[in-house]
Structure 1
Amino acid sequence: MKIAVLGANGKSGGFIVDELIHQGYEPTAVVRNKDTYQGNAKHILVKDVFNLTQNDILDYDVVINALGFFTEATLKNHLESTKHLISILEGLDTRLMVVGGAGSLFVDNDETIRLMDTPDFPSDYKPLAVAMYEAFDYLKTVTDVNWTYLSPSAFFDFEGDRLGHYRLGGNQLLVNDAGESRISYADYAIAMVDEIKNQKYKGQRFTVGE
């Protein structure tokens, strides 16, 4: 299976590349600057997401979007890059896997209140959560591309251990017995790679928790 990881130089992208390698794949890291790539992928494609063409991804079975846009000027690129990827994936069998956000997960059983709209949600993260939600909201309208969106738990732990197991959920925030919503980057990466193999959530969003 040929897999390309966009944003392979980022935190989530790096963990996903390493997990793919750990499970025997040879992923292609798609980066804007080869000189700054510090990861372990043997295959590298140097290209900005907005310059990617259908020919660039024609031979890939899976494209993983792990891109991050965090500044006020670039937040709009969550939606714009998603639209661009959909435009070049149309007509292909290539699957799009998206590293999503937790802010759009619901915190109630009736699924009326999203995490990002709760009083305790950090105001500094609200613009990012909204931008990621807008991209996800658009993705939900797409029917002619095979996509899957994976949201982490509320606390996405970069330094967390690779436990090797996790819990799966749908649109609602997962909380453990201690009342915490968390997942390590390492275990999130395992869930992403497992879904590539299991193909359980086609055209859907799911979430993962510790």
Structure 2
Amino acid sequence: MKIAVVAANGKAGKLVVGEAVRRGHDVTAVVRGENTTEARSAILKDIMSLGADDLADFDVVVDAFGAWTPETLDQHSATLAHLCDILSGTDTRLLVVGGAGSLYMNPEHTLVLCDTPDFPEMFKPLAQAQGKALDELRQRDDVAWTFVSPAADFQAEGARTGDYLLAGEEFTVNDRGESALSYADYAIAMVDEAECTGSPEAHVRERISVVGK
């Protein structure tokens, strides 16, 4: 399988690249500068400079873009819309590294995690930006997208256990009542989803979520 990982030099992107390479996939890193991942091939371009020809040969594109400062949060929507536009009408899957803040807290899907009283104020702008990008993504029926939300406690340096729970739109905890996940286990789940491409198990045009066991 040919997989492109956009923003591959970031923490999540680099681990997704490594996981896919270890499984024998043909992986290309899409990066703005020097490729620091395990991918042997790279496209050296900014996301907004990518064109349809750049991504035409891939089975799966993983969007690992992240922006954290107030002045760049709107780039979540802008970059995702651009990737959708250049993949529009193709069979290439778009797997998006999402956030937990937009997960629903009730069966009616009227309350999201980032609107609950205990959600940290410092993370609300990011969660809202990612939630907006997801809302816009839901309007795209011309792209085979999947939005993958991690657990609330998303641990960059967490251990790779190889175990995770796959859930859906609603906030989910493990048997210990925890919502935690390492970046390494998230990368496993992302590549697992990529490998479902073309099968009934693929979550096309769905948001899924991942929680550590």
Matches for 1:44-193 after TM superposition, within 5 Å:
44-193=42-191
Q: Contact 2:87–2:143 at 8 Å: present in 1 too?
A: yes
Q: Is the 8 A contact 2:3 2:28 kept in 1?
A: yes
Paired with 2:126 and 2:78, the residues of 1 have a C-alpha distance of 14
How many matched pairs? 208
Q: Which amino acid in structure 2 is aligned with residue 11 of structure 1?
A: K
Q: How far apart, CA to CA, are the structure 1 residues paired with 2:140 and 2:173?
A: 29
What are the superposed Cα offsets for residues 27-80 of structure 1, whole Å, 9 maximum, x if unpaired? 10100012xx32211111100000000011111111110001111111000000
Equivalent residue for 2:204?
Answer: 202
Question: Greater shift after overlay, 106-115 or 89-98?
Answer: 106-115
Deviates more, 1:148-157 or 1:20-29: 20-29
Residue 20 of structure 1: aligned partner:
20
Native 8 Å contact 2:88 2:143 kept in 1: yes
* C-alpha separation in 2, matches of 1:26 and 1:59: 11
Give the superposition deviation at 1:176: 1.7
CA-based RMSD of the aligned residues comes to: 1.0
Alpha-carbon separation, structure 2, partners of 1:195 and 1:58: 20
Query: 1:6 maps to which residue?
Result: 6
Give 1:3's aligned amino acid. Answer: I
Q: Which amino acid letter does the alignment assign opposite residue 45 of structure 2?
A: K
TM-score (norm 2): 0.95
- Do 2:165 and 2:174's aligned partners in 1 also have CA atoms closer than 8 Å? no
**SS state of the match for residue 19, structure 2?**
helix
**Counterpart of 1:134 in structure 2: which amino acid?**
K
Shift of 1:179: 1.9
Query: In structure 1, the residue corresponding to 2:72 is in which secondary structure?
Result: coil
Identical aligned residues as a percent: 49
Q: CA deviation at 1:26?
A: 2.6
Structure 1 unaligned regions, length at least 5: none
Aligned amino acid, residue 198 of structure 1: C
1:121-171 Cα deviation digits (max 9, x unpaired)? 110100000000110000001001111110000011111111111111100
**CA-to-aligned-CA distance 1:60-111 (integer Å, 9 cap, x gap):** 1111100011111110000001111111111221111100010000122332
Question: What is the Cα deviation at residue 25 of structure 1?
Answer: 1.1
2:67 and 2:102 mapped to 1: Cα distance? 17
- C-alpha displacement of 1:178: 2.2
Aligned-partner residue type, residue 48 of structure 1? D
1:174 and 1:184 map into 2 onto residues whose CA distance is 15
SS at match of 1:164: coil
